């Protein structure tokens, strides 16, 4: 397992070790990339524990660096926001297009293309209206 793989199958080193031990008890052969088969021996269990611990540490460091980076960004830019910018559209044009779709004059696809938004955004706007 690489750090990424170890992180994706368990949230913590303890959880990963428990998962692998459960698999071994069921007779599943555990193979780790670049390492081979993990034996159900003290040395094999120790290697898994170390690998899961390193994966958990790596993930924790990533989370910490992201938090620090966002803190710096907020300090330098009070308007800092995470995520996509809100979609801008003409509300009157949206209402007109909605009426046209409801009356069957145009399709929903034609409406969202005219408004300049995507399909999902169109239906979210329709639901909110």
Looking at residue 63, its pLDDT comes to 94
Mean pLDDT of 98-110: 96
Does the structure show a pLDDT above 70 at 6?
Answer: no
Residue that wins the pLDDT comparison between 6 and 60 = 60
What is the C-alpha to C-alpha distance for residues 77 and 56, in angstroms, rounded to an integer? 31
Task: Write the pLDDT tens digit of every residue in 44-93.
Answer: 888 888 888 998 899 999 999 999 999 999 999 988 888 888 888 999 99
- DSSP letter string over the chain? --HHHHHHH-SSHHHHHHHHHHHHHTTPPEEETTTEEEPSSHHHHHHHHHHHHHHHHHHHHHHHHHHHHHHHHHHH-TT---SPPPPP--HHHHHHHHHHHHHTSS-HHHHHHHHT--HHHHHHHHHH-
| Statement: the pTM of the whole predicted model exceeds 0.75 | no
Query: Cβ(74)–Cβ(80) under 8 Å?
Result: yes
For the chain, give the mean pLDDT: 87
């Amino acid at each position: 397992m690489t750090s990424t793989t170890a992180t994706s199958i368990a949230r913590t080193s303890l959880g990963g070790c428990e998962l692998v031990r459960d698999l071994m008890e069921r007779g599943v052969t555990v193979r780790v990339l670049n390492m081979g088969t993990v034996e159900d021996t003290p040395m094999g269990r120790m290697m898994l524990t170390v690998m899961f611990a390193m994966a958990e540490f790596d993930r924790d460091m990533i989370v910490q660096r992201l938090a620090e980076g966002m803190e710096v960004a907020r300090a330098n830019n009070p308007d800092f926001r995470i995520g996509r910018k809100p979609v801008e559209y003409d509300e009157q044009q949206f209402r007109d297009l909605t009426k046209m779709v409801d009356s069957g004059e145009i399709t929903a696809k034609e409406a969202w293309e005219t408004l300049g938004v995507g399909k999902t955004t169109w239906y979210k706007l329709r639901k909110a209206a």
